[in-house]
Structure 1
Amino acid sequence: MNTAMNQLEQLLTQQVEGEVRFDDYSKALYSTDASLYQINPVGVVIPRTKADVQRTIQICYESDIPILPRGGGTSLAGQTVGRAVIIDFSKYMNQIIEVNVAEHWARVEPGIVLDELNSQLKPYGLMYAPDVATSSRANVGGTIGNNSAGSHSVIYGKTIDHVMELELILSNGELILTKAMTPDQVEKKKTEQTLEAKIYRKVCQITHDYQDLIRERFPRILRRVAGYNLDEFVIGAGSKEVTPYRRDDGSDQNLFNLSKIIVGSEGTLATVTESKINLVPIPKMTALSVIHFETLIESMEAVAPILECQPTAIELIDDTIINMTKGSAAFSKASDFIKKDAKGNGPGAILAVEFYGESIQELVNQLDNVEKKMISKELGYAFVRCITQEEKSNVWETRKAGLGLLMGMTGDRKPVGFVEDAAVRIEDLPEYVRRFSDIIAAHDTTAAYYAHASVGLLHNRPVINLKSESDIQKMHSIAKQVKDLLIELDGAMSGEHGDGLVRSEWIESMFGSEMYQIFRQLKQTFDPSGIMNPGKIVDGPPMTENLRFGNNYNTIKIDTYFDFSNQGGFNRAIEMCNGVAACRKTLTGTMCPSYIGTREEIHSTRGRANALRHVISGSLPQEHFKSKELYEVLDLCLECKACKSECPSHVDMAKIKYEFLAQYHDQHGLPVRNRLFGHIDSLSDIGSKMVPFSNWLMNSSVSKWMMDKFFGIDRRRSLPNFAEETFVQWFKTRPSRTLDNRQQVVFFYDTFTNYNYPNVGQSVVKVLESAGFDVILPPKRCCGRPMISKGMLNEATQNARHNISWLLPYAKKGLPIVGCEPSCISALTDDYVELLPGDDSRLVAEHTLMIEEFLLKEKERLRFSDIDQNILLHGHCHQKALIGLQPSLEVLNLPVNYTVNSVDSSCCGMAGSFGYEKEHYDLSMKIAEARLLEPIRSHLSDSLGNSQVAISGTSCREQIKHSTGYEPKHIVELLCEAIIHT
């Protein structure tokens, strides 16, 4: 077998222009998606062109090896894992080929991400309608394979309603084009002697001979993606007759289009290399009515009358999700729109009902209408109108945050997706929910309810322990009973997430044996050799096979430096990644900078978590835990902490990397460069005493060459100069401002503020004293952030212990401890509590905050001049992840003539020492260019002499200065320029 695989790898490498990967780590990364399953693939091909795809399929066809097309790997049903050669379209085949604005269509490659597509279409006022929850990383090819839909399918239908043409490669390597055809064109096609012709003959024969059976077996509901779409070719059958969307260009929707059998076929019939897709106008204005109900059932009873008001979406959020959000300090503010009933109880469920309109008045009229409808039906007890962007964002943030908190449950019991895609008729929603709840209760578990209620689709996730054999059997029993219920209600098990490995077992029961055999005939005609993503839709394995965990899952025990008890231990911290791939988004947020810069799965949070999990569980050799291979997997993690907040499951990869590095260096020794950067505070103390000689020396061409040659510090970088007078020296020699009865503030200054940028520290002191505070400087050590980042956890713990011992008396007095460097303050608030868990570290953390947060709380004490500044704010990663940018934005807006905007950037790419390291320099710059530097250049070019760029992190300052030649200012420096000193 190994010889055959080696030959296959060699053949593919010779004939494919793209990348061919058959190493163990690559196979491990592609062994999972966002589903419950894990199957190691044969290998991975990352094609650059459609010719690469064709050659790959031809080679696999001749070698009798399965193939599996894949995009973002966001499948919830296991469609994109299998024992096959994975073809990953997402890295290279991700372009828009053509946009026809007049006719509202685009031609695209399958690997383009939905949000990236719509971002490029936005200037034309158009968009691709399927709006799946994973649109920030899901690929168009995936929406086609899955027949995806989303929140607005009540007006836009499913993907099948928007696919006009497909370019396909069949199982034998034939390249064909499917599009709308007249009867004469179809008849001519059937006469040819090709696999394509054979397929046309078979589809025509099936849909003619079995049209009555198709009408009988396909449910007439809005959302059904299970099986193959034979109902699309039969008048009066299934979803075809109830779809809400039709193109309005006058084209005949009833022409024969083989594309419709490919949509939703999950790669089991053919591989898409290009698609012509319909586009729709972007809605001009939207508004929400958030309707509160005492019970979940009442909310389901309200869906039908709400639909009479012609909404564009109806989204269900149940009390479980609401309560989890309300109980979270991070998200409780966003859910302030939730109202209690007359008895003081919160809602059992809410429906977020959306409307489109051309004007505010039109939206108000629609909101009036739906409220009157509910009142007349005596449904709902409160109606909250959301018209502004902030109001609407709070609703969607509550839904998103609640689901994230749900998915981030600690321990082995998790909300599991296996009956999360059921669809029924609107009038059957109350009955389905009642009986589903009974099934869940009978199995002694719970489930959260959320839904695209407008189309009768419910996403319910029972809580299951997939490491327990009894719970695995419980999962199967629940699925079987839900399947029987859906058959009784003439519903579907797959409303939008597809069949895959989790639901293919039930296809024969859902459609009946005769229809199932027809599906098999169709598959056999398209794919005689059975190489196209086998085991999905037909002839699938039992849903309890190939589980990612399973009752035989075990992990090695690792004694850790950090306390991982909040995550259930180090291993469970890794296992928190459930594969939803939010770390592969590129247009918004910070996570994940290394993926943004490389477009490589291995350099996403999911990729790293996957590799780690394979090692700790033995899927890869467990001795790899301290191996060079795993070190390289984690090497490009910039430790930005964004995944801790932006990942729906709150995977903390920065903390996991700190721990790994400590374990790795314990075995392999600490490199000299790590030691140098880890002790930057001590080295800066020496350098500052040798100014100006030290500044000349470290930035001379000879020194840069030596640092590059011997320490791997890139010669293209310049280290920040030491100040002639340190901040501490200035503080001690300045005229004393201490007065009786003034409140005190502890200033935890950082290394770079002290030795390199004392003007930042001076600004902090001046602003605080102007606000009437006395400033205390504690006898501190370096916060330890450079040590933590390099895995020097023993030494970092010593610094943490020292600092806590000095800061604790201030915290016990209730004094605020403020800082101006986010990575320094995050050490105190986020890392110390897990390096030295206990009441002392927690108390210090509770009293520690950024200077912006403190000033915002004390804003009444501040007086500002009318100086005019136009400011663009870039937030530090740790600040965005742990605090958010809102305090910085609000405090910068306190001066009356300050105009402040923030840039939606990822990491700046510097990340402490990362951008200085020779092997990381190019990636560092690529990350900066992705979403940060162009907005800064644009802002500065529009300057009228008063434009500034604001930062809070030293790394950000150095990267921007290096990349643009402009030196940004710290937030507190800009505040100090406007402060009226008293």
Structure 2
Amino acid sequence: MTRPATLPTPALRRAQPYVRVRDLERDLAAKVDGEVRFDPGSRGAYSTDASNYRQVPIGVVVPRTVEAAAVAVAVCREHGAPITSRGGGTSLAGQTCNTAVIIDWSKYCHRLVSVDERARTCVVEPGIVLDDLNRRLAPTGLMFGPRPSTHSHCTLGGMIGNNSCGSTAQLYGKTADNVVRLEILTYDGTRMWAGPTSDEEYDRIVAGGGRPAEILRRLREIAGEHADEIRRRYPDIPRRVSGYNLDQLLPGGPFDVARALVGSEGTLVTVLRAELALVPVPAARSLVVLGYHDIAAAGDAVLPIAARRPLQLEGIDDKLVGYEARKHMHGKAVARLPEGGAWLMVSFTGDSQEDADQRSRALVAEIGRDGHAPDVAFFDDPESELQLWELREAGLGATARGPGMADTWPGWEDSAVPPERLGDYLRDLRRLLDEFGYGDAALYGHFGQACVHTRIPFDLLTADGVATFRAFLDRAADLAVSYGGSLSGEHGDGQARAELLPKMFGDAIVDAFQQVKAVFDPDDRMNPGKIVSPYGITSDLRLGSAWTPTDPETEFGYPDDQGSFQRAVMRCVGVGQCRSHEGGVMCPSYRATGEEEHSTRGRARLLFEMLNGHRDSAVADGWRSTAVHDALDLCLACKGCKHDCPVEVDMATYKAEFLSHHYAGRLRPAAHYSMGWLPVWARLASFAPGLANAVTHAPALARVVKRLGGLEPARPLPSFAGIRFSDAYRRRGPRGTGERGDVLLWPDTFTDNLAPRIAAAAVTVLEAAGYRVLVPPRTLCCGLTWISTGQLGVARRVLRRTLDTLAPLLRRGIPIVGLEPSCTAVFRDDAANLLPGDRDVTRMAEQTRTLAELLTRTDGWRPPRIDRAAVAQPHCHQYAVLGYEADQQLLQQAGVQLRTVGGCCGLAGDFGFTAGHLRTSLACAEHELLPAVRESGPGTLVLADGFSCRTQLEHTGTARRPLHLAELLARAGAHDGGRGPTS
């Protein structure tokens, strides 16, 4: 039998063939129904994934349909251009970044094509997100079983590419175990459905001839030739993900080509559609958490627990829990853990809650017979279970960056061994980590299947550090193989482990991998350099010893990043939580556009490229970069990422920093002068508010004002109040007994000039609660509008003037009550970054309260009874910086049946008023806020403390005027016999 020629070496493949990029771009744009992007911004945003690797792509194609993707492959074939498929882009081994044409399936190709409830199968396109698929399947009572921790944003195509697993693979198996058939496209244009092939079907296909017959015949020959070696070298463990699944092609087996292709990381074929096996949604769940002395002892205990067929059997150690505690993550969940230095989390399903609980109790009874029984905590309420699973799923983010922690990286983050040997493996792995100086690494993972996760503090910046990194991987691979394990138990090989595959499989099997690659992709155009003939482990590092980024002088202090903008940008580890479509706030512009470039991660990647640490940087013009500017243009500065991102990327601050330098010494956009200087225009308008309103609301004049101000023509401008709150209050003066002391009510620009009724209502509430209300002696500002438009020098001067004026009150310990969340958040957050090290700034942050925070901390105060249903939209800065818990507590005490809406209103200060942003602004509002208000009953209150949130609701025609908390409490107090909300 003639063996196909061995594939060329990586060095040769990098040089061949030559691709005429402009011709390729032209033909793709002409022939593909989709978005074709070869611009620096797109290439920079897709240059890396969640791994240690970086390769700037040739270009990006975002097909609108599966058929358009097939056309894109054909065009690439005409030009000899390599291809890499990409879904959520969260791969940890480098398999979704390459010097290739990236096909991003996630924006458009996410259809649920069909569902067969009787057969318990469905057909999907590769860009569909797992959580979205299961939401759409919910009416059928079925779901896709495997559930990685990235379930909110990972795509099924990516799961098929990596053979993803997650915690529920304990019961449902890997993705490969749940794939029925795949519609595949080879680089040469062969298109076919692949799946289990009986002998009869095989004979029929081979008799038909052509490429399908050739593919099946060669696969059978390769598997037959290497059958003995496959049986000998493939570890018989639940989590073998490394290599190609040649065990699915063995003689006498199912000869399942679809399952053989799962986990091939886009190196063999393009997956166009997938038929998936579904499982019933569990009727009920219960959770047992078991505390052990250390992580190895927890590993020793898994085998008898796994024999009870739990849904999930996860392990976490005290280092992971400690890192989460340091970062103030999941505090309630940490408090619920039983005593121990490591924990097993065991979840059971049942046909009823009683059934699920009984399975948990049976486990507790069984292990209770052991004299060394662990400490136990049992949960059957969904809220507690959710909190504990979020603690576990946050492992990657929690261990990536934190206070007092070294930066940690993937590379050896998902090895797997036989479950019966897990405890000993953990002991040896811990010893190896200690030997190399990596002892701070946390150990956790899918312990029921002996898959161990960790992030390790590798030094990837120096030549010695990179050499040590490589030496550790060699030793770690030897260790896993000595235990009969797999280099990867979940995340795949990619570039991170492919070079080590001979240690696990031997040369003969690796040669078989090359032969399989040659069957499907003889010219090595499908995701080259991954799995087969791989690029080196230390090649193409995102950092590396040659990485020499600039670390520019900045306006903000970045106290949590050692004063370094470069370190702040490096917070993004690519986990992709910003690409989720449900829950939290982050990232509204991604949710509205579906664009990687408009996700927090995409923007962070472009800022990384802007720092120009690599010779082939996609962004070569630094702070003046148009690509970075365009990516940041749709950032709403909501700060949702500061809260929702597990490593607390603060893109609002990075955007302001960038704009400050981008426009330094040159003319700014008109909106920066109109909206950015709003406090000045509002102050001037206060001298003649009637005239100001006439100019801004007369149709002809308003059009001129908007055009000159760079404002959205379709947005009505707000009206200035006839008299500012601060002016009226200074005439009136403080009243009341003040038995509870003084408070300074902050008259922010929006409340003072545009909604003084809210401040007046707050005075009513505060005085009734026993406080004496003070206001600043003159007009002051927090500087928010200058911060958000990147005019940071002005913002600093404005803020300094405010601090100098308030210093006497601050030093007396008088609380500041903020009514506008965005301005209040400046005092609590941005001010310390803009004026680092200033003790008065620290006092201001510590003494600033929201109205709800002050009232709920007031001994003896209780709110009036309201007893109404309400939909509440917490302002994004309220959600991300201030917290909404005090508001929820207060409203609950008042008898309000509260529905809290997630997401962003989409107006976000100047964003929704700026010309060109209207479509994105409204799309953000339509994501959660507007549907929630429309669905609410006619008597339901609408609460929104933020001026932007209220304005968006008013501009989009909702029937009810949204109320500030102060207005609600003042009204309720007046109706409460005039007594007000007192004790």
Q: Could you tell me the TM-score, scaled by structure 2's length? A: 0.94
2-structure distance, mates of 1:329, 1:158: 33
Cross-structure match for 1:264:
263
- Cα distance change, pair 631–260 in 1 and its aligned pair in 2 (3 A): same
Cross-structure match for 2:455:
461
Unaligned runs of 5+ in 2: 1-16, 974-978
Cross-structure match for 1:239:
none
- Cα distance change, pair 174–299 in 1 and its aligned pair in 2 (3 A): same
Moved more, 308-317 or 831-840: 308-317
Are 1:871 and 1:900, in contact at CA under 8 Å, matched by a contact in 2? yes
2-structure distance, mates of 1:448, 1:491: 20
Cross-structure match for 1:968:
962
Cross-structure match for 1:439:
432
* SS at 1:901 equivalent: strand
2-structure distance, mates of 1:309, 1:812: 62
Which among 45, 54, 62 is matched to residue 46 of structure 1? 62
1-structure distance, mates of 2:929, 2:648: 25
* SS at 2:908 equivalent: coil
Residues 737-783 of structure 1, C-alpha deviations (whole Å, 9 max, x = no match): 23264422221121121122112111211111111111111235111
Residues 831-868 of structure 1, C-alpha deviations (whole Å, 9 max, x = no match): 11111112221121011121112222226312414x43
- Cα distance change, pair 412–976 in 1 and its aligned pair in 2 (3 A): closer
Are 1:166 and 1:275, in contact at CA under 8 Å, matched by a contact in 2? yes
Q: How does 1:495-510 map to 2 (within 5 A)?
A: 495-510=489-504
Deviation at 1:180, TM superposition (A): 3.2
Deviation at 1:874, TM superposition (A): 0.8
Cross-structure match for 2:928:
931
Residues 661-700 of structure 1, C-alpha deviations (whole Å, 9 max, x = no match): 1112213233443122222122122323324343233122
Cross-structure match for 2:95:
79
Cross-structure match for 1:248:
none
1-structure distance, mates of 2:757, 2:578: 37
Cross-structure match for 2:4:
none
Which among 538, 557, 560 is matched to residue 563 of structure 1? 557
Residues 17-40 of structure 1, C-alpha deviations (whole Å, 9 max, x = no match): 212222232222211011100011
Residues 792-845 of structure 1, C-alpha deviations (whole Å, 9 max, x = no match): 111111121122223333333332211111100111110111111122211210
- Cα distance change, pair 202–902 in 1 and its aligned pair in 2 (3 A): same
- Cα distance change, pair 620–42 in 1 and its aligned pair in 2 (3 A): closer
Deviation at 1:715, TM superposition (A): 2.2
Q: How many aligned residue pairs are there?
A: 952
Are 1:937 and 1:964, in contact at CA under 8 Å, matched by a contact in 2? no
1-structure distance, mates of 2:718, 2:279: 52
Cross-structure match for 1:607:
602
The alignment status of 1:801 with 2:800, answered yes or no, reads yes
2-structure distance, mates of 1:450, 1:3: 44
Cross-structure match for 1:892:
891
Cross-structure match for 1:62:
78
- Cα distance change, pair 43–673 in 1 and its aligned pair in 2 (3 A): closer
- Cα distance change, pair 863–202 in 1 and its aligned pair in 2 (3 A): closer
2-structure distance, mates of 1:2, 1:702: 58
Moved more, 771-780 or 510-519: 771-780
Are 1:74 and 1:579, in contact at CA under 8 Å, matched by a contact in 2? yes
2-structure distance, mates of 1:784, 1:648: 28
The alignment status of 1:842 with 2:823, answered yes or no, reads no
Cross-structure match for 2:783:
784
2-structure distance, mates of 1:395, 1:957: 35
Cross-structure match for 2:852:
852
Cross-structure match for 1:959:
952
Which among 904, 908, 911 is matched to residue 911 of structure 1? 908
2-structure distance, mates of 1:13, 1:109: 22
2-structure distance, mates of 1:199, 1:269: 11
- Cα distance change, pair 575–742 in 1 and its aligned pair in 2 (3 A): closer
* SS at 1:214 equivalent: helix
1-structure distance, mates of 2:526, 2:457: 33
* SS at 1:731 equivalent: helix
Deviation at 1:303, TM superposition (A): 1.0
- Cα distance change, pair 724–142 in 1 and its aligned pair in 2 (3 A): same
Deviation at 1:954, TM superposition (A): 0.1
Cross-structure match for 1:668:
666
2-structure distance, mates of 1:620, 1:410: 31
Are 1:704 and 1:714, in contact at CA under 8 Å, matched by a contact in 2? no
Cross-structure match for 1:306:
305
Are 2:239 and 2:489, in contact at CA under 8 Å, matched by a contact in 1? yes
* SS at 1:383 equivalent: strand
Cross-structure match for 1:94:
110
Name the aligned partner's letter for residue 512 of structure 2.
I
Which among 429, 438, 449 is matched to residue 443 of structure 2? 449
Q: How does 1:676-825 map to 2 (within 5 A)?
A: 676-734=674-732, 736-739=734-737, 741-779=739-777, 781-825=780-824
Which among 911, 917, 922 is matched to residue 920 of structure 1? 917
Name the aligned partner's letter for residue 53 of structure 2.
Y
- Cα distance change, pair 400–313 in 1 and its aligned pair in 2 (3 A): closer
Cross-structure match for 1:617:
612
Deviation at 1:148, TM superposition (A): 0.7
Residues 411-435 of structure 1, C-alpha deviations (whole Å, 9 max, x = no match): 9942211111111111110111011
The alignment status of 1:155 with 2:149, answered yes or no, reads no
Cross-structure match for 1:247:
none
* SS at 1:287 equivalent: strand
1-structure distance, mates of 2:208, 2:462: 55
2-structure distance, mates of 1:528, 1:621: 34
Residues 158-196 of structure 1, C-alpha deviations (whole Å, 9 max, x = no match): 111111111111120111111333311111112333222
- Cα distance change, pair 378–458 in 1 and its aligned pair in 2 (3 A): farther
1-structure distance, mates of 2:844, 2:733: 30
Name the aligned partner's letter for residue 493 of structure 2.
D
1-structure distance, mates of 2:45, 2:356: 47
Name the aligned partner's letter for residue 426 of structure 1.
P
Are 1:324 and 1:402, in contact at CA under 8 Å, matched by a contact in 2? no
% same residue: 36
Cross-structure match for 1:475:
469
2-structure distance, mates of 1:151, 1:207: 31
Which among 637, 640, 659 is matched to residue 638 of structure 2? 640
1-structure distance, mates of 2:254, 2:375: 48
2-structure distance, mates of 1:857, 1:403: 36
The alignment status of 1:512 with 2:506, answered yes or no, reads yes
1-structure distance, mates of 2:619, 2:527: 28
* SS at 1:394 equivalent: helix
Moved more, 154-163 or 925-934: 925-934
Cross-structure match for 1:225:
241
The alignment status of 1:137 with 2:132, answered yes or no, reads no
Q: CA RMSD in A?
A: 2.0
Are 2:326 and 2:403, in contact at CA under 8 Å, matched by a contact in 1? no
Are 1:107 and 1:277, in contact at CA under 8 Å, matched by a contact in 2? yes
Residues 389-443 of structure 1, C-alpha deviations (whole Å, 9 max, x = no match): 2211331233345643321237994221111111111111011101111111111
Are 2:40 and 2:619, in contact at CA under 8 Å, matched by a contact in 1? no
Are 1:302 and 1:379, in contact at CA under 8 Å, matched by a contact in 2? no
1-structure distance, mates of 2:302, 2:419: 7
Are 1:286 and 1:354, in contact at CA under 8 Å, matched by a contact in 2? yes
Are 1:292 and 1:351, in contact at CA under 8 Å, matched by a contact in 2? yes
Deviation at 1:467, TM superposition (A): 1.0
* SS at 1:350 equivalent: strand
Cross-structure match for 2:187:
171
Are 1:35 and 1:417, in contact at CA under 8 Å, matched by a contact in 2? yes
Moved more, 623-632 or 967-976: 623-632
- Cα distance change, pair 566–503 in 1 and its aligned pair in 2 (3 A): same
Deviation at 1:376, TM superposition (A): 2.0
Name the aligned partner's letter for residue 136 of structure 1.
S
Which among 352, 363, 384 is matched to residue 391 of structure 1? 384
2-structure distance, mates of 1:844, 1:419: 45
